[in-house]
């Protein structure tokens, strides 16, 4: 399993008893990311058994309350839990000032450092990279400065063909590293064995694109093209496309059109307006344009 | 019914699935107050059917997260619900700056005004008064500047003795007002009927004292004396009195001692540390000193 997305909250605007604002937990290539953090996210993490300590990087799409009002509580709790490792926070300009002021007035002192990465570019940019994963922004169009995030695994190493290796009787464990990165092997008699005979193709790197909140914005298509999994907000159905336009949100149909144009493998929609009492209509509307489409629901996991 | 207290959250420090931070809803003489507002309070209000629109005054004891991190979300939701009436917020210095900065970065604009009443006095002071109720601070001793709050009904008007009034055949509806405020009635023949023959004693004004968070502080006793209902924090049992002292909290025994000295009618304890897996021990420890003592529990109502 390379990529697992857990929905912690998927509704818009105001938290209700069984409708939590946006928060997602992403496991990708052994990295653990939190995406958005509406009020109550730390409770949702406990409910769905998401470990607090594994998360070192939190990505906040924009500074509307339903996407970040839970951040200060989570940070405060990490302090109480005696966290010591740095916590990196990526989000729009202003996130550092507002977080620090809350920590100051509540006299919250902890043993770990907050490292803020404030975003202001209107172009897609690389904001995180390690040896396994990188993250780029997806500039969105909302009432405030907003980014989606594209999480991409780095090219995996080749898998060893142990049967073929054993047959040669000349390859040692210390040679594995160069085989995994694609090098051919030269035998003691000078003969070269092509790498393809000693290894299998690695699994294709996986990508997850998170796009919330945004109006219909086809120019994100080149950034998210061929993603394995796309989450795209669908606050309204097409019956209220006027309201979607006015509030800079999307309809289920528009989310599906983006998925289709980007030729992604699978679409998840969410951020439902509270005016809709049932969610199946969102799936039905989207499915006319694109398939497969899934509804984000609290606790649901998507595994690629 | 003159006074009803609803517990929305009663645990300390970090929110957990079934352990919510401090928030209480008080109905007293047809006034509706919210006391403290930890993360998730708006969800707890919905769960326990507390109407958002009735609340015009919110009292925040101190700026530790478990007592105010839910305030910004509630304010934001009131805006989404198209509130128009002023909302008054009473709390320590700093509460206005931190609230306004959060509203600014989230570009939250609403149709109602926030009226802040920042508190800084170390003496008990009158902070709210109308024709039915008044509220005084109860200076507490915690790691940050903290107040409890004493909610007191104003003297009720006398109740009319309709049988006695009917017998006289000379008292009109327009005379009721002066009878209710205790005036005698002079008949047309000049004879004075004492008010006590025409009215009954009104119910005694009720008082509710909220004391959280604080170390053991006997000098609050004169302020809360004879309260009908006292909520006093009891974060620890006596086995960790050392920790209570260090963190400026109280034990169940200390809460009961305050209740006993103040000769209150009934004690509610809460703000339990998460180190305790069951709560009955808190009640048992307190009951040795004072009776009746009740455990604050989510959704519980106390009616005086």
Q: Which chain A residues touch B81 with a CB distance below 8 Å?
A: 14
Q: Pick the residue of B12, B15, B36 with the most A CBs within 10 A to test the interface with A by mutation.
A: B15
Q: Tell me, yes or no, if B191 comes closer than 8 A to chain A by beta carbon.
A: no
Contact A95 B80 (CB under 8 A): no
Contact B76 A65 (CB under 8 A): yes
What's the pLDDT at A175?
92
Task: Say if residues A220 and A148 touch (Cβ distance below 8 Å).
Answer: yes
Please enumerate, by residue number, every residue of B annotated as part of a binding site for Zn(2+).
62, 64, 66-67, 142, 213, 271
CA–CA distance, A20 with A18 (Å, rounded to integer) = 6
How confident is the model over A9-52, as pLDDT tens digits? 999 888 888 899 999 999 999 999 999 999 999 999 999 999 99
What's the pLDDT at A1?
57
Q: Tell me, yes or no, if B236 comes closer than 8 A to chain A by beta carbon.
A: no
What's the pLDDT at B117?
98
**What's B3-156+203-303's CATH class?**
alpha beta
Radius of gyration of chain B, Cα coordinates, nearest whole angstrom? 22
Instruction: Pick the closest to residue A10 from A299, A217, A304 (CA basis).
Output: A299
Task: Say if residues B207 and B201 touch (Cβ distance below 8 Å).
Answer: no
Q: Which of B77, B94, B101 sits opposite A98 (nearest CB)?
A: B101
Q: CA torsion, points B35, B37, B38, B43, in degrees to nearest 10?
A: 120
Contact A73 B77 (CB under 8 A): no
B114 has which bridge partners? B87
Q: Tell me, yes or no, if A107 comes closer than 8 A to chain B by beta carbon.
A: yes
CA–CA distance, A93 with A90 (Å, rounded to integer) = 9
Tokens of B39: 């993360």
Q: Pick the residue of A45, A65, A71, A108 with the most B CBs within 10 A to test the interface with B by mutation.
A: A65
Task: Say if residues A197 and A184 touch (Cβ distance below 8 Å).
Answer: no
SS3 letters across B100-160? HHHHHHCCCCCCCCEEEEEECCCCCCEEEECCCEEEEEEECCCCCCCEEEEEEECCCCCEE
Q: Which chain B residues touch A60 with a CB distance below 8 Å?
A: none
What's the pLDDT at A65?
94
Q: State whether the Cα torsion A107-A113-A114-A115 is positive or negative.
A: positive
Q: Which chain A residues touch B80 with a CB distance below 8 Å?
A: 13-14
CA–CA distance, A78 with A83 (Å, rounded to integer) = 6
CA distance A246 to chain B (A): 15
Tokens of B10: 């009663």
Instruction: Pick the closest to residue A126 from A150, A159, A109 (CA basis).
Output: A150
Task: Using alpha carbons only, give the angle A199, A203, A209 rounded to the nearest 5 degrees.
Answer: 155
Residues of B taking part in catalysis: 66
Instruction: Pick the closest to residue A268 from A239, A302, A237 (CA basis).
Output: A302
**Tens place of pLDDT per residue across chain B (304 aa):** 579 999 999 998 888 888 899 999 999 999 999 999 999 999 999 999 999 999 999 999 999 999 999 999 999 999 999 999 999 999 999 999 999 999 999 888 889 999 999 999 999 999 999 999 999 999 999 999 999 999 999 988 899 999 999 998 889 999 999 999 999 999 999 999 999 999 999 888 999 999 999 999 999 999 999 999 999 999 999 999 999 999 999 999 999 999 999 999 999 999 999 999 999 999 999 999 999 999 999 999 999 9
Largest distance between two CA atoms of chain A: 75
Q: Tell me, yes or no, if B105 comes closer than 8 A to chain A by beta carbon.
A: yes
What's the pLDDT at B1?
57
Q: Could you say which residues of chain A have pLDDT below 70?
A: 1
What's the pLDDT at A16?
85
Q: Tell me, yes or no, if B102 comes closer than 8 A to chain A by beta carbon.
A: yes
What's the pLDDT at A10?
95
What's the pLDDT at B169?
85
Closest residue on chain B to A49 (Cα): B17
Domain ranges of chain B: 3-156+203-303, 159-200
Task: Using alpha carbons only, give the angle A273, B20, B106 rounded to the nearest 5 degrees.
Answer: 45
């Amino acid at each position: 399993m390379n990529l697992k997305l857990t929905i912690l909250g998927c509704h818009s605007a105001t938290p209700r008893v069984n409708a939590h604002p946006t928060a997602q937990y992403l496991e990708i290539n052994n990295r653990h990311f939190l995406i958005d953090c509406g009020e109550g996210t730390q409770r949702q993490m406990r409910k769905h058994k998401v470990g607090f300590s594994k998360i070192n990087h939190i990505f906040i799409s924009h500074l509307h309350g339903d996407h970040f009002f839970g951040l200060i509580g989570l940070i405060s709790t990490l302090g109480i839990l005696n966290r010591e490792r740095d916590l990196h926070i990526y989000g729009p300009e202003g996130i550092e000032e507002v977080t620090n002021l809350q920590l100051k007035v509540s006299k919250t002192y902890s043993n770990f450092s907050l490292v803020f990465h404030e975003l202001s570019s209107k172009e897609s940019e690389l904001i995180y990279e390690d040896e396994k994963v990188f993250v780029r922004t997806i500039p969105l169009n909302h009432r405030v400065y907003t980014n989606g995030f594209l999480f991409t695994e780095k090219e995996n190493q080749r898998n060893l063909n142990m049967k073929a290796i054993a047959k040669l009787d000349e390859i040692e464990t210390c040679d594995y590293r160069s085989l995994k990165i694609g090098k051919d092997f030269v035998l003691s008699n000078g003969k070269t064995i092509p790498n393809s005979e000693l290894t299998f193709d690695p699994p294709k790197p996986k990508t997850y694109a998170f796009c919330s909140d945004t109006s219909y914005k086809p120019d994100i298509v080149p950034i998210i093209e061929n993603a394995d999994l796309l989450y795209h907000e669908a606050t309204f159905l097409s019956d209220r496309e006027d309201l979607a336009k006015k509030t800079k949100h999307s309809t289920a149909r528009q989310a599906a059109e983006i998925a289709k144009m980007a030729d992604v493998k699978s679409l998840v929609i969410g951020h439902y307006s509270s005016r809709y009492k049932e969610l199946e209509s969102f799936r039905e509307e989207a499915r006319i344009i694109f398939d497969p489409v899934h509804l984000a629901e609290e606790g649901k996991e998507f595994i690629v």
